[in-house]
């Protein structure tokens, strides 16, 4: 197993670095540093169009559907440079999640209708999965879709729907058959968020910002032509989608960037003259997280080497998700601790470009708190870590 990068791969890394340096607008870079999760729709679409024109918006897509056709190692190197340069996170719901489902399982009409609009950023998407009482137990969802001629009539409710207020389209799991076991009665629908009867209500977070939403369906009519694949096979397509999501949740490159920011904050001199980085206990904890992230990186590289050899990754992606989300939580806790009272005078409006008041203490308090550092959901979204351990036990260890 060769974990060294080839000369061609290193040349590719340099190309990515140059392109980002020359093309990422400075206002978008600043906005990303201050509040990665709250970059405006206008800024996000503007940056995605720049990537789309280069053919780099969808790194994992094959060439026949508009992607660059990169291998797994190229995608890894691209992500390294992307995170290091403070690029905004591309909306994952279209590019990373539903796009691969459509080009793998969708009809030719669906591919023609939706894939180009994802790549052009004409359509932004959101994910209609979770419901009250059906989060980690997704098979227990209750939103119903009843066939009526050429339409389904959808009634029900979704919650924790990220960026639904920015989305043009939603991919949604619905119950189309209640007479069979739960996993066999689910279908996968593509729904226009402007359809009559669909209502989006904001969930305002404790930081005062709007990222999450509830979505209500009241006799929403969805054409049968918008069903992906076969009726009742939605669970299969959902598992495929979640596999793609879990691989990305490892977040090695993102955690490297957070470690850099943690070091910067810990090195600041405080009002009492002390420096947090001088504390041996804090340094030891920071070093432990760095060691864990390095170990995760080499695990990811081993899986990438296997994928490069044509053997695929498979259920081992659950290992990346577990450790990556635990490292993220550990870094978030240390960042909040390092900010200390500088996070207390937190002002959500400070993320705006027109905010002209000086920060109270280091400016990190705005961006880091806006990144929802107090959120502990990293081990839940994409499939809870308890579920991932069951997958590893069954599919990897054969227990």
371 is an active site residue: no
The tens digit of pLDDT for each residue in 110-161 reads: 999 999 999 999 999 999 999 988 766 788 899 999 999 999 999 999 999 9
Residue 20, CA distances (Å) to 238, 253, 256, 273 in order: 33, 16, 18, 38
The tens digit of pLDDT for each residue in 217-253 reads: 999 999 999 999 999 999 999 888 876 665 666 778 8
Confidence of residue 24 (pLDDT cuts 50, 70, 90): very high
Start-end ranges of CATH 1.20.140.10 in the chain? 250-396
Start-end ranges of CATH 2.40.110.10 in the chain? 125-233
Q: Give the per-residue pLDDT at 311.
A: 63
Domain 125-233 falls under CATH 1.20.1260.10: no
- As a residue count, the chain comes to 399
Q: Tokens 């596999």, residue?
A: 243
Confidence of residue 1 (pLDDT cuts 50, 70, 90): very low
Sign of CA dihedral 381, 386, 387, 393: positive
Beta strands in 108-252 (DSSP E): 125-128, 144-148, 151-158, 169-175, 186-192, 198-204, 210-223
| DSSP letter for each residue of 278-302 | G-HHHHHHHHHHHHHHHHHHHHHHH
Q: Give the per-residue pLDDT at 129.
A: 93
Taking all residues of the chain, what is their mean pLDDT, rounded to a whole number? 85
What's the whole-model pTM score?
0.83
Contact 41, 165 (CB under 8 A): no
CATH architecture of 250-396: Up-down Bundle (1.20)
Point out the catalytic residue in the list 245, 297, 316, 328: 245
């Amino acid at each position: 197993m060769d974990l060294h990068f080839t000369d061609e791969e290193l040349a590719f890394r340099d190309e990515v670095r140059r392109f980002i340096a020359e093309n990422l607008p400075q206002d978008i870079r600043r906005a990303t540093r201050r509040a990665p999760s709250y970059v405006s729709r206008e800024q996000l679409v503007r940056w995605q169009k720049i990537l789309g024109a280069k053919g780099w918006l969808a790194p994992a897509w094959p060439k026949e559907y508009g992607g660059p056709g990169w291998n797994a190692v190229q995608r890894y190197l691209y992500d390294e440079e992307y995170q290091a340069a403070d690029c905004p996170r591309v909306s994952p719901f279209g590019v990373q999640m539903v796009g691969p489902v459509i080009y793998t399982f969708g009809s030719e009409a669906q591919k023609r209708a939706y894939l180009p609009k994802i790549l052009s950023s004409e359509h932004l998407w959101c994910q209609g999965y979770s419901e009250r009482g059906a989060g980690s137990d997704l098979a227990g969802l209750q939103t119903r879709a009843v066939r009526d001629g050429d339409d389904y009539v959808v009634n029900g409710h979704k919650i924790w729907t990220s960026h639904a207020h920015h989305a043009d389209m939603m991919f949604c799991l619905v119950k189309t058959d209640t007479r069979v076991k739960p996993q066999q009665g689910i279908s996968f629908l593509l729904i226009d968020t402007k359809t009559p009867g669909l209502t989006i209500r904001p969930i305002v977070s404790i930081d005062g910002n709007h990222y999450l939403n509830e979505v209500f369906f009241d006799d929403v009519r969805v054409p049968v032509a918008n069903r992906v694949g076969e009726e009742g096979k939605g669970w299969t397509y959902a598992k495929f989608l979640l596999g793609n999501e879990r691989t990305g949740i490892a977040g090695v490159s993102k955690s490297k960037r957070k470690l850099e920011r943690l070091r910067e904050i810990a090195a600041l001199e405080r009002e009492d003259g002390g420096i947090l980085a001088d504390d041996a206990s804090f340094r030891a904890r920071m070093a432990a997280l760095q060691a864990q992230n390095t170990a995760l990186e080499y695990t990811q590289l081993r899986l990438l080497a296997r994928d490069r050899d044509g053997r695929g990754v498979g259920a081992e992606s659950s290992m990346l998700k577990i450790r990556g989300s635990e490292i993220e939580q550990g870094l978030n806790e240390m960042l909040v601790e390092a900010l200390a009272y500088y996070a207390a005078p937190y002002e959500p409006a400070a993320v705006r470009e027109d905010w002209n008041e000086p920060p109270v203490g280091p400016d990190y308090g705005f961006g880091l708190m806006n990144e929802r550092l107090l959120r502990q959901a990293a081990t839940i979204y994409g499939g809870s870590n308890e579920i991932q351990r069951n997958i590893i036990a069954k599919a990897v260890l054969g227990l």
